[in-house]
Amino acid sequence: MEDIIAITFIFGTPIIGILSWTFIKGLQIITGRGKYSLSNKDILQLKGENEEMRQRLENLEVIVTNADPTLMENYVKLQNQHKQSQLNQRQYQSSYNNFQRKEQEVPLEENFKSVMNKMLLKVDTMLDDKKRR
């Protein structure tokens, strides 16, 4: 029984201390007396910045929605041409790489023949070495 009480005090004291500290800091922030609390001046400044950002966003919306349709069409065409040229370049590069690979590839029959010849030469040399012994 005494062991349980000792363990409870050992582990319970730091936990209660952490919870108490968190509760006190939370109260300080809520009441405005803490390190992280905002004064009325700070809140008004943030509200002003928020309103300024809202107006800038509305201005951008007006600019984008009232843009000249021909400008947008030209931009889209330019983007499509750019994508198409990149696609063509990739296709050209891949076909060029395939062509190079085909030139370097050895037909399967020739490859098999060369491997078999090498193996037979090794077998012959091994047999010759055994005969000499």
Task: Please identify which residue in the block is written with the tokens 């929605």.
Answer: 65
Residue 1, CA atoms < 13 Å, CB-side half-sphere = 0
Of 29-43, 67-81, 90-104, minimum mean pLDDT range: 90-104
Prediction pTM value: 0.30
Q: What share of the chain is helix, strand, coil (3-state, %, to 5)?
A: 90, 0, 10
Task: Please identify which residue in the block is written with the tokens 């041409």.
Answer: 81
- The confidence score (pLDDT) of residue 17 equals 92
| Angular region, 38: left φ>0, alpha ψ -120 to 50, beta rest | beta
pLDDT tens readout for residues 102-130:
555 556 666 777 777 787 888 788 777 77
Instruction: Name the more confident of 79 and 100.
Output: 79
* 121 contacts: CB under 8 Å, gap ≥ 6: none
